[in-house]
Amino acid sequence: METGIRLIRLTEERIIGFKEEMQEAFDSGFKGHIKDDSENQWQVLPDKDFYQALQSDSAEAYEATDADGQRVGGAIITVDNAKGELAFLYVKSGVQSKGIGQSIWRTIEAMHPEVEVWETCTPYFDRRNIHFYINCCGFHAIEFFNAHHRDPNMPEQFDPSDGLFVFEKRMK
């Protein structure tokens, strides 16, 4: 499905709006996974994680725009030779299920033919993301971090009772 999406490098002056839209998209995906939203003190996309993803020397941030030049999503990736990490990918709230996410991902893959292995992760409860990464993008679940199998790289950031899938996509 061709969506007419273009990826444009994110500029410093557009970071705040990009971050806010990404947080809104992640928050809307999180709704329905908790019983009482008023009790939720957890920020789905903490500011610290967002800015940390941007600070890597190999970080690339892209906003996805439609044919009218309106931002409809975006992604933050890192590429280190043959290894790539998809830190975040989002589609703006209200325009999901139109092939935008797949178009963003296919464009990223095309921009980086040198990457042999891509990695990303998503919380266990986000069935939409799990479906997207496995069924639409070709990733495979390779690990599941939880209370019995903790992620040694994120001991303080992640509540292990929440569960986190790690996905990998081998390109070659």
DSSP 149: B
Measured on CA atoms in the order 58, 66, 134, 31, is the torsion positive or negative? positive
User: What contacts 61, CB < 8 A, 6 or more positions away?
Assistant: 9, 10, 15, 18, 54, 74, 75, 76, 77
Q: What is the pLDDT of residue 125?
A: 75
| pLDDT exceeds cutoff 80 at 106 | yes
The residue behind tokens 């990918």 is 89
Give the integer Cα–Cα distance in Å for 155 and 135: 30
Among the listed residues 89, 117, 93, the one whose alpha carbon sits nearest the alpha carbon of residue 102: 89
Among the listed residues 101, 82, 83, the one whose alpha carbon sits nearest the alpha carbon of residue 91: 101
Of the pLDDT bands very low, low, confident and very high (cuts 50, 70, 90), residue 124 is: confident
* pLDDT tens-digit series, residues 33-52: 554 444 545 566 778 888 88
Query: Mean of the pLDDT values across residues 87-111?
Result: 93
Among the listed residues 127, 132, 128, 123, the one whose alpha carbon sits nearest the alpha carbon of residue 164: 123
Q: What is the pLDDT of residue 1?
A: 45
- One-letter-per-residue 3-state SS of 16-38: HHHHHHHHHHHHHHHCCCCCCHH
**Exposed, middle or buried by CB within 10 Å (0-12, 13-18, 19+), for 123?**
middle
Q: What is the pLDDT of residue 107?
A: 96
User: 146 φ, ψ to 5°?
Assistant: -160, -170
* pLDDT tens-digit series, residues 130-146: 899 999 999 999 887 66
pTM listed for this prediction = 0.84
Of the pLDDT bands very low, low, confident and very high (cuts 50, 70, 90), residue 90 is: very high
Weakest mean pLDDT among 33-42, 43-52, 55-64, 94-103:
33-42
Q: How many CA atoms lie within 13 A of 125 on its CB side?
A: 12
